[in-house]
Amino acid sequence: MRGDLDLYRRVLEGLPGVQSFRYAKQGRGPDVRARLETEAGDREVVVRIFRSHLTAQTAHHIVSTAAASTEPVVIFAPHVGAGLAALLSEAGVNYVDVHGNCHLVLPPLFIHVEGKTGARRPGAGKGLRRPAYQVLFAYLAEPDLLDAPVRTVAERAGVSRQPVSDLRRRLLDDAYLLATKTKTRWNPRRRQDALDLWLHGYETIVRPSLLWGTYRTRPDDPMELERQLTQALAAAGVAGLRWGGTAAGFRITGHHRGPRTVAHVRAAPDAVAQRMHALSDPRGNLVLMDAFGTLNWQSGSDTVHPLLVYSETLSEGSERAREAARELYETRIRSAWEPEA
């Protein structure tokens, strides 16, 4: 952590108009308070450090959570590409990367630098495969699993036992987890890092492996589409359906139901697409996906786990979807972590 902080301090102090950047004592959680001294005046800010390169999924997560902050927030990340830089700056999110690209709007200070490049450092998720990310998901979704038998975690995550043992050891070695003789828990300062790592893995590895297909269907009304899809699945003999994305988020919070319908089914849905006269279209209004582990197929629920709903809702990318994701995060994800904080 100290090495990362010093790296970004040097970057900031090399910007025009910045005199010094000093860190205050880190409190609970992943955030660090700091004081930015400039020729235009001094500002207190909250710093969030990301150890992996930002993906679109992570950037949408940043935007959705930063909107709830009452204090100026500055994102530190190894690299912020042009597309994600535009997303962050348009949303009013301050950032700095190790190359010196930055967007700082802290009146009366305004600094924007872009276009700098350099060799990328390996991300925190280097070497992780889909089973490891599924185990990470399970630990984030149900923190009680941190002390559960390996076979239980494997079943909940939908993997074999070896990835459970391997990832748990890695999380302990990298201080994501803290263990005593009687209990294992998330390190409060690194749990947000773990969520960021999961979102990165979901976008780059897990989601592509779950995707059956994206289709354009005739009914534009989402409710009618849901009705027809349910009938088509039954007629095709495809058992198992759980809603995802904003279709699930609306069922959980009642906040927002976007135009795209995400449904998780257990088997390849070719017959279903044919019955609905659905055409393959990457921009279509129907997304059919698989889902992993018993965590996402719990009896008594018609949606996948809220963490998977949150992850997929961020993929929609719209401002309303980010607002819905933020409510889901606050009410069903972060609230489940509070006893450990």
Whole-angstrom Cα distance, residue 252 to residue 189? 28
Question: In what helix (H) or strand (E) does residue 37 lie, and over which residues does it extend?
Answer: strand 32-38
What average pLDDT does the structure give for the chain?
87
Domain ranges of the chain: 2-113, 130-206, 210-338
The tokens describing 73, both together, are: 């927030």
Half-sphere exposure of 268 (CA within 13 A, CB side): 2
Is the confidence at residue 68, as pLDDT, over 80?
no
Find the mean pLDDT for residues 299-315: 94
pLDDT of residue 279: 92
The total number of residues shown for the chain amounts to 341
- The conformation of residue 221, written as its DSSP 8-state character, comes to S
In tens, the pLDDT along 270-287 reads 888 888 889 999 999 999
Alpha-carbon gap, residue 222 to 259, rounded angstroms:
6
CATH of 130-206, one of 1.10.287, 1.10.10, 3.30.70, 2.60.40: 1.10.10
Q: What is the rounded CA–CA span in Å between residue 301 and residue 283?
A: 28
May I ask the CATH class of domain 2-113?
alpha beta
How many Cβ atoms are within 10 Å of 317's Cβ, its own excluded? Answer: 15
Q: Is the pLDDT of residue 305 over 50?
A: yes
Q: In which band, very low, low, confident or very high, does the pLDDT at 96 lie, cut at 50, 70 and 90?
A: very high
pLDDT tens column, 20-42: 888 876 655 567 888 888 887 88
Query: Has residue 3 got a pLDDT over 60?
Result: no
92's tokens: 């009013």
Q: Are strands 41-49 and 73-77 parallel, antiparallel or unpaired?
A: parallel
Our separate counts of H helices and E strands in the chain read 14, 14
The predicted structure's pLDDT at residue 55: 82
Structure confidence by residue, pLDDT tens digits, 126-169: 678 999 999 999 999 999 999 999 999 999 999 999 999 999 99
